[in-house]
Structure 1
Amino acid sequence: MDALDAISKWLAKQHVVTYCVGREDALWCANAFYIYDRERVAFYLLSDTQSRHGQMAGKLASVAGTVNGQTKTVALIRGVQFAGELRLVEEPESEALRERYNRRFPVARVMSSPLWEIRLDEIKFTDNTLGFGKKLVWLRAEQA
Structure 2
Amino acid sequence: MDNSIPAAICRYLKKQHVLSLCAGVPPWCANCFYLFNEERQVFWLISEAETRHSVLMLAQPQVAGTISAQTRNIMLIKGVQYQGVIRQLSDEQEIAARNAYVRRFPVAMKTKAPMWEIVINELKMTDNTQGFGSKHHWLRKGE
Give the TM-score of the pair, scaled to structure 1: 0.92
Structure 1 residues 62 and 127: alpha-carbon distance in aligned structure 2, compared to 1, 3 A threshold: same
Q: Which residue does 2:23 correspond to in 1?
A: 21
Q: Secondary structure at the match of 2:91?
A: coil
For residue 18 of structure 2, what is the amino acid of its counterpart? V
Matched, 1:44 2:44: yes
Runs of 4+ in 1 over 2 A off after TM superposition: none
Q: Which residue does 1:53 correspond to in 2?
A: 53
Q: Secondary structure at the match of 1:133?
A: coil
Distance 2:6 2:61 in 1: 24
Q: Which residue does 1:111 correspond to in 2?
A: 111
Q: Which residue does 2:7 correspond to in 1?
A: 5
Q: Which residue does 2:70 correspond to in 1?
A: 70
Distance 1:59 1:34 in 2: 21
Computed over aligned residues only, the root mean square deviation of the Cα atoms, in angstroms, reads 1.6
Matched, 1:98 2:98: yes
Q: Deviations over 1:93-122 (max 9, x none)?
A: 110110110111111011111100111101
Q: Deviations over 1:39-75 (max 9, x none)?
A: 1111100001110011111176000000001111111
Distance 1:101 1:140 in 2: 23
Structure 1 residues 137 and 129: alpha-carbon distance in aligned structure 2, compared to 1, 3 A threshold: same
Distance 2:43 2:119 in 1: 7
Distance 1:60 1:85 in 2: 9
Distance 2:106 2:77 in 1: 29
Segments of structure 1 that go 5 or more residues without pairing to the other structure are: none
Structure 1 residues 3 and 42: alpha-carbon distance in aligned structure 2, compared to 1, 3 A threshold: closer
Contact kept in structure 2, 1:62 and 1:85, CA below 8 Å = yes
Q: Secondary structure at the match of 1:98?
A: helix
Q: 1:128-139 alignment to 2 at 5 Å?
A: 128-139=128-139
Segments of structure 2 that go 5 or more residues without pairing to the other structure are: none
**Offset at 1:128?**
0.3
- How many residue pairs match? The answer is 140
